[in-house]
Chain A
Amino acid sequence: MLTYTVRRILALIPVLIGMTLVVFAIIHAIPGNPAQVILGQRATQEAVANLTAQLGLDRPWYIQYFDYIKSLLHGDLGVSLETRLPINEEIWPYLAATLELTIVAMIIAIVIGVNAGIISAWFSNSWFDYTAMILALIGVSMPIFWLGLMEQWAFSIELGWLPTTGREDVRDPITAITNLYMIDTLLQGNFTQFITVIKHLILPSIALATIPMAIIARMTRATMLEVMKSDYIRTARAKGLRMFWVVYKHSLKNAIIPVLTVIGLQTGLLLGGAILTETIFSWPGIGRYLYDAIGYRDYPVIQSGILIIAAIFVLINLIVDLLYVIVDPRIKFTK
């Protein structure tokens, strides 16, 4: 398994390099010149041309690309055109914010999604099954944008339970250590702030969790139904085994493999697709960081941001593949 893991990790390198090439080509194909954006509406053409040259954006694209790869191999993600700061230094707080949000969202999606799927399958064609699947259908098709605003309206303004936006109470700011605020507040032993962080997380993570939750629920239900038709489950049930054990001990392990795949894919999608949620809830995450960078034509930030998300995405896939074996030892790694 170790050789397999190492082999898989090595195979990621060409994938990521290919990825940089695609991203590079695409962002350089979008019209719009960073120099123009930086200098703003009142700039003269001459100034724009000067700055373009100064930023090295007038060189042939393949030279720019090789320069970029060269510094990337030295672990240098480049310098943001907007803030003039090294991306290495400034990207982590955004990434941490998104990771925290995504992890909480995925936990919600998995816990509720898997269990709803199991119960629906067990009591298939019952009222619970119908309700859950209709809700799942609504969940998949609901615009996050609208959902987010409705959540704010209902839970913040009308009920007054939860804050509308941000990660913390700005009047009582959190001292960042890891930038994962749940951990930071616990490290500082500040339970009040920990609760504040949780409160800020609830609405955006539910908004973000809705779609994967619905997809996971539907997937779990489908595979569970498949498994429960099989002979050994019928035997187990005939033996009078309690439902709980039939489901969680016998059925789930066989049903979970496709669900794991879906979970892996959805996690990756969430990481990159959190932009809308982050905008509505004013969450200073990587999605917003990238979105602003695109508006600003901040090429180095766009390239590096997408590259990091892509790297996490392929890593998650790798973890999912490794999990297959843990869940189901019948799966063997082959060369």
Chain B
Amino acid sequence: MKKKSFTLLLISLLAISMFLVGCNSKSSSESDGKKEPATSNGSKKDTLVYGRGGDSTSLDPITTTEGEAFKVTENIFETLLEYGEKDTTVQPGLAEKWEPSEDGLTYTFHLRQGVKFHDGTDFNAEAVVFNFDRWMNGDEEKFPYYTMFGGYKADEGHVIKEVKALDEYTVQFVLKRPQAPFLKNLAMSPFGIASPEAVKKWGDDFRSHPVGTGPFKFVEWKKKDRIVVEKNPDYWQEGLPKLNKIIFRVIPENAARLNALSKGEIDVMDGLNNSDEATVKSDDKLQIIERPSMNVGYIGLTNTRKPFDNKLVRQAINYAIDKKSIIDAFYGGKALPAKNPMPPSIEGYNDAIEEYPYDLEKAKALLKEAGYEKGFKMDLWAMPVARPYMPEAQKVAEVIQESLSKIGVTAEIKSVDWATYLEKATKGEFDAFMLGWTGDNGDPDNFIYTLLDKDAIGSNNYSYYSNDELHNILIEAQTETDQAKRNELYKKAQEIIHDDAPWVPLVHSTPLLAASKDVLNYIPHPTGSECLSKVEFK
């Protein structure tokens, strides 16, 4: 009896599966045709599906430094000041006007009136004070990006002495000492102004219940799958946002994400491989969107490890790497060869610096002078993950390995998972390694001080490069408010770095996005995340 039922079960399952496959192919060819727009009733599309590689870690922007988080929070929160649409110039945001004092120690902000948070409470000076008080009373574990203001309330380096409400729509910031990038910092995504009521209500859980003043309201977060935001009907900017809803979908695999875009399941994809650009261009339903470059990809040479403690060796390595062929092969030609640790779009870029040319003879001569005539052995660490500035680290490493072998240097390529990679780099355990940086606020300080000052050893100065002269210049530049003088200081800093050659600066890449052709007004921002309030469909 039992055997009979087992047999029957098998047969019926077979039959059911046949039936399902059959009925499926019929119905799908009717309703799921390739060219059909994804609307249900023929009206204009108003939901944008944005495909990206990873999920957000938090939706309270100040609690994270992870770029994926800001792609969403940029649309929910607004900052006192905003960046320009395509650059990092400072523009009015929630503050309409502002006046710095002569000595650069007080800034008075006049706030936009009639703005409401998504929970219906008013945006006003008290709300601004509340947010800054919350952050400055925290610590680096809670609000990591707040260190842009030199630390926390009790810290000696903390720049902001106090934030006070002068009247309902006027806020004054009093600083302990001038901070040159102060306004640029205020415009960074992490400093989005949150609803005080919502923060009090949710406490630590505010990270999954964000409430701001932005064009979109948070609706739903299904972890590792999607985040949904919808139009804020009370948004202060007339006529915006154009979209009714945005769905941020996680599709980890780049190739699968491109498949989903071709199929129309998503409308925009982030993180397109340069090698897939041709595929997108050949599809007449798709378009390429180029993000302005504000990054640097580099090979760090750990300056405390032999033989890289010798400047001549570091210079020799700089001569031995052919950036042009790397860019042609792995960036589809879409990158600038780097000669400085920051991209040319940033103020204070020193264009007078002459790049180390690709010159193997010169490299050999330098190695000989340094006493390494017969070359040496080293480890070259390649990143295990793709980043806009380094899409294919392993393959780039192979090209570099080949180049180095021509000057007698034997490089062994190694890799390890990303978490371990960063930890080992922080500890200075690599001979040479690949890494990069995307700028936060478009200020030279955010590249040079963050990546190469001796203060940053143990955090982002993975090459353990330390130069006192450079340090003094960078500290001076941090408090100098005259932009022309600052630029001169940074130009000098780049000269020092060029000569010391703590890295081989490789590229400033142009990250690519792809979108369906009917997506209009998508303006990618150099910081890597943008507000989508003006995006609409044809």
Contact = CB atoms under 8 A, between A and B. Distances in A.
Contacts of B64: 40
Interface string B481-493: 0000000000000
Interface string A67-106: 0000000000000001110000010011000000000000
Interface stretch (A46-54, A58-66, A134-142, A309-317): A46-54
B379 to A, nearest CB: 16
Nearest to A36: B423
Nearest to B28: A161
Interface in A18-49: 30-33, 36-47
B275 interface: no
B310 interface: no
Interface string A283-296: 01000110010111
A297 interface: yes
Interface in A238-284: 248-249, 252-253, 279-282, 284
Nearest to A107: B13
Contacts of A108: 17
Interface stretch (B253-261, B392-400, B510-518): B253-261
Nearest to B425: A41
Contacts of B6: 327
Contacts of B420: 30-32
A245 B217 CA distance: 64
A157 B265 contact: no
Contact of B222 (A33, A47, A162, A284): A284
B363 to A, nearest CB: 31
Interface string A106-118: 0110110011000
Interface in B120-151: 139-141, 144-145, 147
A305 to B, nearest CB: 13
Contact of B147 (A36, A42, A114, A296): A42
B3 to A, nearest CB: 5
Tell me whether chain A's interface is mostly helix, strand or loop, or mixed: helix
Contacts of B223: 83, 90, 284
25 contacts: A40-B64, A41-B460, A43-B140, A44-B140, A44-B147, A50-B141, A82-B57, A90-B223, A149-B256, A152-B256, A160-B32, A163-B265, A165-B260, A166-B225, A166-B251, A167-B225, A171-B247, A195-B27, A198-B24, A199-B24, A284-B222, A284-B223, A284-B224, A284-B225, A327-B6
A108 B27 CA distance: 21
A39 B422 CA distance: 12
Given A107-B13, A161-B29, A170 B49 contact: yes
Contacts, number: 189
A11 interface: no
B110 interface: no
Contact of A115 (B14, B33, B256): B14
A37 B338 CA distance: 28
Interface string A167-201: 10011110000000000000000000001001100
B249 interface: yes
Contacts of B207: 84
Nearest to B261: A164
B141 A170 contact: no
Contacts of A166: 225, 249, 251, 265
B154 interface: no
A42 B144 contact: yes
A124 B225 CA distance: 47
A91 to B, nearest CB: 11
A199 B30 CA distance: 13
Contact of B224 (A38, A43, A281, A288): A288
B459 interface: yes
Contacts of B520: none
Contact of B251 (A31, A45, A282): A282
Interface string B17-28: 100110111011
B423 A171 contact: no
Contact of B65 (A32, A40, A165): A40
B323 interface: no
B56 to A, nearest CB: 10
Interface string B453-466: 00000111000000
A203 to B, nearest CB: 11
Contact of A157 (B145, B263, B418): B263
A123 interface: no
Contacts of B276: none
A202 interface: yes
Nearest to B13: A111
Nearest to A85: B208
Nearest to B148: A42
Nearest to A50: B141
Contacts of A42: 65, 144-145, 147, 450, 459-460
B7 interface: yes
Given A84-B204, A282-B250, 13 more contacts: A37-B422, A42-B144, A42-B145, A83-B57, A111-B17, A157-B34, A161-B29, A162-B28, A163-B32, A282-B225, A282-B252, A295-B417, A295-B419
B38 interface: yes
Contacts of B71: none
Contacts of A198: 20, 24
B252 A279 contact: yes
A322 B222 CA distance: 38
Contacts of A163: 32, 263, 265
Given A32-B423, A281-B256, A164 B263 contact: yes
B139 A50 contact: yes
A279 B141 CA distance: 30
B529 interface: no
B374 interface: no
Nearest to B20: A198
A310 B524 CA distance: 45
A100 to B, nearest CB: 14
A37 to B, nearest CB: 5
A280 B24 contact: no
